[in-house]
Amino acid sequence: MDAIDLLIVVARVVVVFALLLVVTLLNVWLERKIVADMQNRIGPDRAGPFGILQTLADGMKLFFKEQVTPRKVELGVYLLAPFLAVIPALLTFMVVPWGRPIEIAGRVVPLQGTDLNIGLLFILAMSSVGVYAVVMAGWSSGSKYPLLGGVRATAQAISYEAAMGLSMVAVVMFTATAGDGGTLSLAEIVARQQGSWGDALGIPALGWIPRWNLFPELVAFGIFLIAAVAETNRAPFDLVEAEQELVGGFHTEYSGIRFAMFFLAEYINIFTMSAIATTLFLGGWNGPTWEGTVPAVVSAVLPTVWFLVKTYAIILVFFWVRATLPRLRYDQLMQLGWKRLIPGAFVWLILSTVVIGIRQFGWPWT
């Protein structure tokens, strides 16, 4: 490992960091614009063309705003919570591959923060650490609305993490049949979704269907998507910050840049969850690159483009759901989680296992 390798590692981390910040700036604006369109409004249109610089202006404002610290807060925990929200949000994306490995001067550079052997578990670990930020913020604010928001966040996170984990297990088990042994590495999961279902099953007529996990694991995809919306505390599962009942929920007592950090973390989490859904179900960066017929630079950049296109397709679903669905009641949220999603995920897991077993080992009576 020489200096250049080290430089490449640093560059990969910095690029992911920058990507997340830029994407967040765009997403906040995009959400406001799209929700405005759906509700027959104009939305932000003052700063820059189409109001695209609106988020930047808002961010600057938050930077220079006075930071109000209520008298009853638990100061240490209160100051720590915003950081604890942002750091896991940034770290989670580090294991997501966002492009095909490129070759620069004889060195293969994977376009990914780092390829961990335990990639999927790392994602689950970081998302469970992220809950702490909400809980700590809610508790340390020393007022009742944030506390209620914090308690709700804990219950919601515990409930929906189980469903999300189970849907991931189905994907991991399916992926194990597509190659040599099981894997939790996201780069490997993407690599095993290359090609088409026609080639994989030996049916030429299906050659146009890409070999994404989406098709065999459709139910798991649905469960994952619902759980992802709940995990990111987005409408219709945004009980954590339900304005009508909890003022602002866990971040009621935060202002200025500290509030901005919670906001940033939420939008980074939306992008990361969409990117993970893309990686697990939509084939990640896989897509036609027209190798040889287009310049090499184009076919090196195209996978990243495909990745972003797929991720944004899922993000648009997030926005669409937010603009369309009313918020669930708290007991409905718990019932959906424990009585529908988790049993559903279990049934799907068992069905999926039986099919995989039969495909691998044949019928038990033959």
By CB under 8 A, name the binding residues for other proteins.
1, 74, 77, 116-118, 121-122, 124-125, 128-129, 131-132, 135-136, 139, 147, 150-151, 154-155, 157-158, 181-184
Measured from the CB atom, the residue of 56 and 162 that comes closer to other proteins is 162
Distance of CA 44 to CAs 35, 55, 317, Å? 11, 9, 21
Rounded distance between C-alpha atoms, residue 217 and residue 356, angstroms? 12
Measured from the CB atom, the residue of 69 and 128 that comes closer to other proteins is 128
Q: Tokens for 257, please give them.
A: 């840049």
Measured from the CB atom, the residue of 10 and 296 that comes closer to other proteins is 10
Those residues with Cβ within 8 angstroms of residue 149's Cβ, 6 or more apart along the chain or in another chain: 134, 138, 240, 241, 246, 248, 249, 250, 251, 252
Q: How far is the CB of 129 from other proteins (least distance, A)?
A: 7
Measured from the CB atom, the residue of 1 and 297 that comes closer to other proteins is 1
Distance of CA 191 to CAs 99, 188, 225, 315, Å? 11, 5, 22, 23
Q: How far is the CB of 9 from other proteins (least distance, A)?
A: 8
Sequence-ordered alpha helix ranges (H) in the chain: 3-38, 54-64, 75-92, 119-140, 144-177, 186-191, 197-201, 218-231, 243-246, 256-281, 296-324, 330-335, 342-361
| DSSP assignment of 224-284 | HHHHHHHHTT-TTSGGGG-HHHHTTGGGTT--HHHHHHHHHHHHHHHHHHHHHHHHHHS-T
Measured from the CB atom, the residue of 252 and 311 that comes closer to other proteins is 252
Q: Are 119 and 184 in contact (CB under 8 A)?
A: yes
Measured from the CB atom, the residue of 114 and 194 that comes closer to other proteins is 114
Q: How far is the CB of 359 from other proteins (least distance, A)?
A: 20
Measured from the CB atom, the residue of 158 and 351 that comes closer to other proteins is 158
Measured from the CB atom, the residue of 76 and 207 that comes closer to other proteins is 76
Q: How far is the CB of 185 from other proteins (least distance, A)?
A: 8
Q: Are 34 and 312 in contact (CB under 8 A)?
A: no
Rounded distance between C-alpha atoms, residue 158 and residue 178, angstroms? 31
Q: How far is the CB of 162 from other proteins (least distance, A)?
A: 9
Cross-strand pairs, 294: 291
User: Token match 């409408």: residue?
Assistant: 235
Measured from the CB atom, the residue of 88 and 283 that comes closer to other proteins is 88
Measured from the CB atom, the residue of 156 and 279 that comes closer to other proteins is 156
Q: How far is the CB of 126 from other proteins (least distance, A)?
A: 8
Q: How far is the CB of 5 from other proteins (least distance, A)?
A: 9
Residue 255's CB is within 10 A of a number of other CB atoms, namely: 16
Say if residue 202 is exposed, middle or buried (CB neighbours under 10 Å; 0-12, 13-18, 19+). exposed
Q: Tokens for 211, please give them.
A: 């070999």
Q: Tokens for 3, please give them.
A: 């200096």
Q: How far is the CB of 229 from other proteins (least distance, A)?
A: 20
Q: How far is the CB of 137 from other proteins (least distance, A)?
A: 12
Q: How far is the CB of 165 from other proteins (least distance, A)?
A: 9
Distance of CA 339 to CAs 114, 222, 224, 275, Å? 37, 16, 16, 28
